[in-house]
Amino acid sequence: MEFNQVVMTRRSVFKFEDKQVSLQDFLPLLTAANMAPNHGLTQPWQFLWLGEQTKSALADYYAHARAFKKYPIDSDEFYVSKSKALARFMAVPAILLVACCVDNNAIVAEEDYAATCCAVQNLLLAATDQGLGAQWSTHPMLRDAAVLRLLGLDPIKMRLVAMVYLGYPFGVTSVPPRKAAENFLQLLP
Ligand SMILES: Cc1cc2nc3c(=O)[nH]c(=O)nc-3n(C[C@H](O)[C@H](O)[C@H](O)COP(=O)(O)O)c2cc1C
């Protein structure tokens, strides 16, 4: 795809075909992510490709939080909602977590976070280019120290920047309305 077409057609994709995404399919996305700009070449990112065991452990956190947001804990509705959310999470063809180092120096930490966000965007654009669909999620569980520990990450030294759902898009995803770019341009004297 042409660069402009990739940028203009990238969408957050929520519905996926029932088709696996292999680690091999993911490698070009990883390469693109790793080429993101990063100050001081810190390459502050880590990409965690979830196997079934980790996915299933995280599904429980995900589903619990979803159900807890809507229903009183231990109510019938809570369990129905939780089991639907569990099934939805497990049905996502591939899930990737993107973590970032947290430097002791606040400026470096901010720049590293920004660089990791650039890496995620590269990854999303590369996914579009490969015919894959992706969605960047910042589900509250990404801020839960227990989740980081479950992933083998030290919550003092690392933070989770994105959970990326990946798969082959099902159907066409509509374009969310946006204000025209000119609204955000200021021409200074
Ligand atoms: C930092 C970040 C966090 C996001 N977190 C979520 C999320 O938790 N849940 C979600 O449904 N979408 C999330 N999104 C996706 C946005 O909702 C989406 O980009 C926006 O609706 C515009 O749609 P588009 O990506 O198709 O252009 C996130 C996007 C970014 C950049």
For helices 106-129 and 23-34, angle between their N-to-C axes, nearest 10 degrees: 130
Tell whether ligand 1 has an atom less than 6 A from the beta carbon of residue 20: no
Q: Which atom of ligand 1 is nearest to the CA of 175?
A: 26
23 contacts 110 by C-beta, under 8 angstroms? no
| Global pTM exceeds 0.85 | yes
Q: Which of 143, 144, 123, 147 is nearest to 135 (CA)?
A: 123
Tell whether ligand 1 has an atom less than 6 A from the beta carbon of residue 138: yes
What span, in angstroms and rounded, lies between the C-alpha atoms of 151 and 95?
Answer: 13
Provide the residue ranges of all domains of the chain, joining segments of one domain with +: 12-51+93-168
| Ligand 1 centre distance from Cα of residue 81 (Å) | 22
Q: What is the pLDDT of residues 135-174, one digit of tens each?
A: 999 999 999 999 999 999 999 999 999 999 999 999 999 8
CATH number for region 12-51+93-168: 3.40.109.10
Q: Write out the DSSP string of 107-170.
A: HHHHHHHHHHHHHHHHHHHHHHHTT-EEEEE--GGGG-HHHHHHTT--TTTEEEEEEEEEEPBP
Q: What is the pLDDT of residues 157-166, one digit of tens each?
A: 999 999 999 9
150 contacts 54 by C-beta, under 8 angstroms? yes
